[in-house]
Structure 1
Amino acid sequence: MTDFDSSDETFLLSRRTMLGGAGLTGVALAGSGLLGAAPALGASLIREEGIPTDPAARIAMIRRMRLRTDPGIVYWWFRGRNYAQQGAKLTPLCELVFGAVMKVNPLADGSMELTSYELGFRTAPGTNERSDQLRNPLTGEMVDVPFVPVGPTTVRYSAANDLIFDGKIGNTTLKAEHVPELFYHMGDQITFQQHTAADTETPGLSPRRLNDMTMITSPAKEALDPRVHCASATGYGTDLSDYARWWKMPAGMGTQCLRSVGRKETNYANMPKDWVAMLARVNPEGARDPRKLLTLKQEEYRN
């Protein structure tokens, strides 16, 4: 089984999708310090005008925007650029294309199962082809670039949107703090922001601190309508973490930042063509029928 680099940007995106039944990442990892899923409800806020305050209705709205409330498959993709961040100076490192195939299975008791398969690859800034090697712009060194699909992985959410999960991704233990969502009603759009700060522990390696902040936006007429099972949605992500170890970055060189934009799809044909082409290289049969990716043995893509 491949050791995951817990500060790698695909690890961050993996958490965003695989642990994404609640506010985009999970809400109660077993044995972790993650806070409860139900958003904190205080005095009425102008920015939340028209957004339901009932916890169950709010959870349903989040699931409708992030995934779907009925059984079926959804797809998410993100495209972005990774930067070396030294103080206020940003230096492009690489670009990233990431996609996920996700099967949602709501259960009779209000809980939900989510199975996902994820694939991300990197290119040099301003290019289209996957890179096996990249130049570290701060050191000038050529480094090998990992490429490991993830999954399929299944997690479960309770009716209260608590994530039932052992807190492990690969050989890494995840302890996360989920900051309550912020909600915004802007004209004909509904947006919610989530922030997860996570500490990761990997045997033989120093602990890492990760931050995942994402905003999901949907048309208000879809997000607020309980008759709609799957609202169209666009995502905007900012991930801040220590450098991925494969960058071989010397100490004191700052942190890495990933800025990304993506979209939820219900039609596989709308997934980015370069991502589908890369999937076809890895698993031609799965690229023809992505549902088959969700029935693979996990070990096939973690070794």
Structure 2
Amino acid sequence: MADIKPRSASGYSSDVTQACEQTLLTMLSAFGNLKDTLRLVGGLVPRYLTPEAHPEVPAHAGTSDVDVVLNLEVLASGDEYATLAEQLKARGFERTPNRDGRPASWRWRRKVDDHLIVVVELLRDAGDLQPGRAVSINGEEVSAMCIKHAGITADWFCEKTVTAHLLDGKGVSTEQIRFADVPAFVILKALAMNQRQEPKDAADLIHVIRYAGTLEEVAELFAARIQSGKHQNAMLDGLTALKLRFCDDEYAQGFEKVGPVAYAQFLGADGDEELIGYQLYAASLVEGLLKLIHEKTTFTLP
């Protein structure tokens, strides 16, 4: 069971986000030659998709954990994975206990200091399996949580050279990080938002859509992915989820829905007027994006 995350932006800090980046780079060495096949998803991605550039692009709220997608086809073709658990343990990682006290082999944690522990979640594409199920990869030592459409990141990703101090004073390391690109990130976050309706998911979605470029440029990124012909079911499911949770329909006005409300609650508001303002903005932004995508591609949602 996942830890309870902060419900508002005030619960996140740049120091914790920096610790997550250090944890990511420390973990990568455990994968050896396979590290290039990993794809970063989740709350650390906006740090790279929308780098802070005041005043145009404010700093993203950050994250408190690290989520990576494993490419099981590549892993199965080599033997490096056989020692992954030992390599993780050698770098100070340990399996994270579930609420029942038993260790979860898909969630590994790393102590950063006396007050901070960062959790790394290992994920895989669900394929024909039930999303939300952890599947063993290497005996009982390592598993990965099945996530619907996570495999799109194998094709739809960006790269960035990242330099950070490794944990335990192991020196400065520079690595090439591969992470979900804008369409992949939005799709996966929309699916997560549809399922668990967390304020952080809504805030991450809106931040990336707003600051990854102009709305026209973001729509062009989606159009290019749609025109590629790849992962069309993922695109349909993700954009349908986005429409359901943020846009007007016969059930409710978009600003009243859980997406805009969660976004506004995450930001925090000084009174109802500001709260409604945030909700209206989020609904309008998503509505505008979906309209532009349709105009550029004739991609139609149910």
Q: TM-score range by the shorter chain?
A: under 0.3
TM-score, normalised relative to structure 2: 0.26
TM-score, normalised relative to structure 1: 0.26
- Higher relative contact order at CA 8 Å, sep ≥6: structure 1 or structure 2? 1
Higher strand share: 1
